[in-house]
Structure 1
Amino acid sequence: MKLTFLKVTLLMCMLVLIQFATACEPDKHPSSNQNLNGVSSVNKETKVNVPSEDDKIVIGFSMDTLAEDRWLRDRELFREAVEALGAEVKIFASKGDDALQILQAETLINEGIDILVIVPHNAESTAMIVKKAHSAGIKVLSYDRLVRNSEIDLYVSYDNEMVGELQANAITKQVPKGKYVYIGGAETDYNAHLFKKGVFNVLQPLIDKGDITIVYDQWTKDWFPENAYASMVEALKANNNEVNALISANDATAGGAIQALSEQGLAGKIPVAGQDADLAAAQRIVKGTQTMTVYKPLKELADLAAELAVKLAKGEEITVERMINNGKSEVPSILLSPIAVDLENIDDTIIADGFHSRQEVYEGK
């Protein structure tokens, strides 16, 4: 009996020790309720990995392309902003390849990044990336372009609908009546749809009055200037060169279209709008072959995105005043204001900001 009592006593002591050890084990899966303050909670059930204060934040930056001047600037400005905050960034660019962008994002996720920042090539297919990141406890910030049909955690961009409105307002001041050509961006890029919506916010009342006729309207596959060139050649041919104005979704597509105008002796005779404030566009404005561009100060965007990405990774609260529906959820969004630039204010905007030097812009003038 004494031996049996001793065994029972030892067994009870072991159970107490096991319970004590279990109670002291740290929680390896912190609550995901450290979400955005003042907005609807997104993806509440996802386990979010929040690094400790001593860990260096690692940000994955998945980019669509580096083929255009502005994206090279975004890459370097974002890197500088992240490093200034004491964090680290790993950057991949997919050269406009949807499958490659998904693969690169998966690589970043598997490397154990703390947050993913993405510039989607295809607004729809990249929803898969958001789902994979959330499954791994990683939040996702959509940079400049909105990922569609996903529970994205935060969207930071310029007001892209306003971009189109600035373009159309500038051109309709010069051509209140006439035949218009619209050359859009890539149909897979949701921003291209927002630009177009902004343009037609302004044009539609004039179309309804019969003052303006849209004689050509086409998307530009992958934003390639050569595709915009082909579209403009087609537009001119279909209208016997009788075109009064051109609005192009960005400066690269405007450049391709202006090449087609030049071949017909029309460059500088037809008002042309673009956006991005590319150096080539700024030079064309000075030379008179492009009327205006829309300037989106990239440092402002990169600095803000970097700051918010670090906060999201740390689980800190972020308050926003605007929500945008991406087809699946109301996305907490911060939109900055773009600036219309023409010959009159080019010195006071992109040159004064150091976006391009005066020497570069006025080269050959």
Structure 2
Amino acid sequence: MKKKLIALLLALAMGASLAACGGGGGTTQSPAGGTETTPAGTETGSGGEQTGAGKTVGIAMPTQSSERWINDGANMKAQLEALGYEVVLQYAEDDVQMQVSQIENMVAQQVDCLVIAAVDSGALTTVEAQAKTAGIPIIAYDRLLMDTDAVSYYASFDNKGVGTAIAEYIVEHKDLEAAKAAGESYTIEFFMGSPDDNNAVLLYQGIMEVLQPYLDDGTLVCKTGRTSFDDTCILRWSQEEAQKMCENYLSGFYADEDLDIICSAFDGFAYGCRSALEAAGYTEANWPMITGQDAELMATKNIISGKQTMSIYKDTRLLAEKCVTMVNAVINGTEPEINDTETYDNGVMVVPSYLCTPLAVDKDNYQELLVDSGYYTAEQLAE
């Protein structure tokens, strides 16, 4: 009942939000690394004025290799255009120097605000300083910008909460308390996010705060012994690297015993692990629990078919909306809504943040959370 209520409220909120932000320009993606600039439209803000008329927002996204970043860019672009802003949207394809160059160009174009989802959260300090000198405010989008005082705000999900939700799902659906009481155990391996992404560290912390006691008492057994962040992190969130890791684990440690749980921090890792499992001969009879993050379309299809157990639903429409309100407030000289002023210390300052709430999605609730809210259509999931 609680999940149904959450889904209903989410659907109502998003319906109202998208109606208010509708009517923007097209959302066709630019070619890899290319620039897409759309002239300001004639849409008006809630007060009847062209909120963004004559203003330009630069959006620097990390990659188009992941569905979620394409959606993030498209959602922000559409909502900003609906407010009358011109939008420069670029993807760096996981190339740090390309992203530096893209942002330098945006600074040279004298955009009025920068939204940055970094390829490497600590590698942009020089260009961020250039933006600050030019008087251009920066909003970090879903990846905290590290070691800089040039960032004004941060829009993200509760990243530690993502890890907590993944771990709590494992505890509940594997009934680890009952296993502990019966002296039983499950094998588990970890596939964590990129070491240059602060979110990945927080997610790992959320997972381990919940699961470490079960590792300590033997209810969970990691046969590789790889449980630290350094041992489990995967640079640039690489699906291919996750697949290689899983192949090595299965051949080196699980030749005579099944792997029960794959604690994956990203849907892309889940895809790689699926390929490794199929190559190793796993079937429905011994298929492990596989977690994920982002509730991508392919991941949702895999959840329906049983090839992935769950994912974390992070509504990119909602996150884009919150970031757009930050942009609009900063450009118009007002204070945006924030709900966290303590958590996100980037090494130089604590960045004021707005954190959206992540939700666990699986075969039992994907219809409510993803379809009924309009995030995906039944036709998309049936393709």
Of 239, 244, 247, which residue of structure 2 is paired with 1:233?
247
What is the one-letter code of the residue matched to 1:342?
Answer: D
Query: Per the alignment, in what secondary structure is the counterpart of residue 153 of structure 1?
Result: strand
* Among 224, 227, 230, the residue aligned to 2:238: 224
Larger mean Cα displacement after TM superposition, 102-111 or 222-231? 222-231
Aligned residue for 2:181? Answer: none
Cα deviation for residue 150 of structure 1 reads: 1.3
Q: Which stretch shows the higher mean deviation, 264-273 or 304-313? A: 264-273
* 3-state DSSP of counterpart to 1:207: helix
Consecutive unaligned residues in structure 1, runs of 5 or more: 1-51
Unaligned runs of 5+ in 2: 1-49, 177-184, 227-231
For residues 49-84 of structure 1, what are the alpha-carbon distances to aligned partners after superposition, in whole Å with 9 as ceiling and x for unaligned?
Answer: xxx989522111011111111111111111111011
- Separation in 1 of the partners of 2:292 and 2:282? 17
Matching of residue 184 in structure 1 with residue 192 in structure 2: yes
CA contact (8 A) 1:85 1:307 kept: no
2:142 partner amino acid: D
Contact (CA 8 Å) 2:52, 2:85: kept in 1 or not? no
Q: Of 355, 366, 376, which residue of structure 2 is paired with 1:346?
A: 366
Structure 1 residue 251, shift from structure 2 partner: 0.5
Give 1:164 deviation, angstroms: 1.1
Q: Does the CA-based 8 Å contact 1:286-1:362 persist in structure 2? A: no
Structure having the higher Rg: 1
Note the 1:139-218 alignment, pairs <5 A: 139-151=137-149, 152-175=151-174, 176=176, 177-216=185-224, 217=226, 218=232
- In the alignment, structure 1 residue 284 sits paired with structure 2 residue 282: no
Q: Is the 8 A contact 1:64 1:120 kept in 2?
A: yes
Alignment CA distance shift 1:66-1:267 (3 Å):
farther
Q: Shift of residue 136 of structure 1?
A: 0.8
Instruction: For residue 222 of structure 2, give the secondary structure of its aligned residue in structure 1.
Output: strand
Residues of 1 paired with 2:199 and 2:338: CA distance?
20
Is residue 138–residue 152 contact of structure 2 (8 Å, CA) maintained in 1? yes
Query: Hey, what does 1:259 align to over in structure 2?
Result: 275
Q: What residue is the counterpart of 1:307 in the other structure?
A: 325
Q: Secondary structure at the residue paired with 1:330?
A: coil
Contact conserved, 1:167 with 1:199, CA < 8 A, in 2? yes
* Residue of structure 2 in register with 1:98 after alignment: 96
Structure-2-length-normalised TM-score: 0.78
Aligned residues with identical type, % of pairs: 29
Matched to 1:356, the amino acid is Y
Query: Which deviates further from its counterpart, 53-62 or 179-188?
Result: 53-62
Cα displacement (A) at 1:221: 2.4
- Do structure 1's residue 246 and structure 2's residue 262 form an aligned pair? yes
In the aligned structure 1, how far is the partner of 2:164 from the partner of 2:382? 27
Which residue number corresponds to residue 348 of structure 2?
Answer: 328
1:156–1:333 contact (8 Å) kept in structure 2? yes
CA offset digits 1:88-131 (Å, max 9, x no partner): 11011111111111111010001010011000010111233321
Q: Distance in 1 between matches of 2:193 and 2:267?
A: 10
Q: Which amino acid counterpart does residue 147 of structure 1 have in structure 2?
A: L
Q: Distance in 1 between matches of 2:99 and 2:106?
A: 11
Q: Which amino acid in structure 2 is aligned with residue 291 of structure 1?
A: T
How far apart in 2 are the matches of 1:128 and 1:252? 31
Aligned counterparts of 2:222 and 2:80: Cα–Cα separation in 1: 44
The alpha carbon displacement at 1:215 in A equals 3.2
* 8 Å contact kept, 2:325–2:336: no
Aligned-pair distance for 1:265? 2.5
**1: distance between equivalents of 2:311 and 2:261?**
14
Contact 1:60 1:117 in 2 (8 A): yes
Q: CA deviation at 1:207?
A: 1.6
Pairwise CA RMSD: 1.8
1:357 aligns with 2:354: no
- Contact kept, 8 Å, 2:370 with 2:376, in 1: the verdict is yes
Deviation at 1:160, TM superposition (A): 1.1
Q: TM-score, normalised by structure 1?
A: 0.82
Name 1:318's counterpart in structure 2.
336
Instruction: Give CA-to-partner distance per residue, 1:302-350, whole Å, 9 cap, x none.
Output: 1111121121122212353312211110110110001100111010011
Q: How many residues align?
A: 312
